[in-house]
Amino acid sequence: SSGSNLLLEYAATREPDYSIDLPKIRQNITLHLNGKDEKTFSDYIEVLFSSIEKKHSVDYLYLIVTELFMTFHIYYHILENTPTNINEFISSILDEEYTLESLKNTAIHYGLQCIQQNDTSPSDVALSKKLMSYIDEHYHNQDLSVAQIGDIFQLNPSYMGSVFKKVNDISILQYITNVRMEASKRLLESNQYKISEIAEQVGYSDVFYFSKRFKKSYGYSPKDYALRNKS
């Protein structure tokens, strides 16, 4: 259980490449922290650690804990005054005798510090959430662009982009790409569509450009990702 000493064994078969999940996890962490909702953030950490326990993978544990504390450090300057550097700090909490429960509580503790030090305005967070909801609903539209979103919300694209970047630490264009890549990953995992069909379903008219974006995001071509998923 999560309260007992963490004893994880490597599976005999090759483990999945969990690193492809990290951009989405980083995005969720910053969104919850900038939203300044302590309960929502704590609930998300609970979900993350539940997934660690279910996957029973040392690699996944190290990736998630490193991602959490690097995000706290880079974006919110937490842990700057520790006697060791951030990498040594992460190694120390992972190398000690620990439980998942204690690691989870440590992550929540430092995350709440980030929330308390955060100076993002509620109005900026509210606007960002509206923009994200719109993109989540319309990412399949090939005409989706920052200018088009600005027209819909009657906002200057430059102002809108700066608010979004301040809240989420990524640009609107990068968020559109991330949403499309996540959607394409799900479609590839379903094994129901050709790659050209998936490209069109997630908003790309050019299948070669789609394949290039996918490989840049995940390190695999769509075809290779589908084959890995099948195996």
Report DSSP letters for 169-204, one per residue.
SS-HHHHHHHHHHHHHHHHHHHT-S-HHHHHHHTT-
- Whether residue 174 is predicted with pLDDT greater than 70 in this model: the reply is yes
Is residue 110 in some structural domain? yes
On the question of pLDDT at 158 being above 90, the answer is yes
- The predicted-structure confidence for 47-85, as pLDDT tens digits, reads as follows 999 998 888 888 888 889 888 988 888 877 777 666 567
Predicted TM-score (pTM) of the model is: 0.69
Contact 199, 210 (CB under 8 A): yes
Rounded to an integer, the average pLDDT of 87-93 is 82
Into how many domains does the chain fold? 2
Is there a single domain that holds both residue 113 and residue 202?
A: no
Same domain, 143 and 130: yes
pLDDT at 12: 41
CA pair distance 231, 189, nearest whole angstrom? 11
Residues 107, 30 share a domain? yes
Cβ atoms < 10 Å from Cβ of 16: 15
Q: Does 6 fall in a domain?
A: no
Residue 99 β-bridge partners: 5
Chain mean pLDDT for the chain? 85
What was the pLDDT predicted at 83?
A: 57
**One domain, residues 98 and 149:** no
Is 138 found in the same domain as 108?
no
Mean pLDDT over residues 152-160, rounded? 95
If you average pLDDT over residues 28-38, what whole number do you get? 84
Residue 77 lies in a domain: yes
Partner residues linked to 5 by β-bridges: 99
Same domain? For 129 and 181 the reply is yes
Range of the domain at 94: 18-117
Q: Is residue 86 part of a domain?
A: yes
Clarify whether residues 23 and 105 are in a common domain. Answer: yes
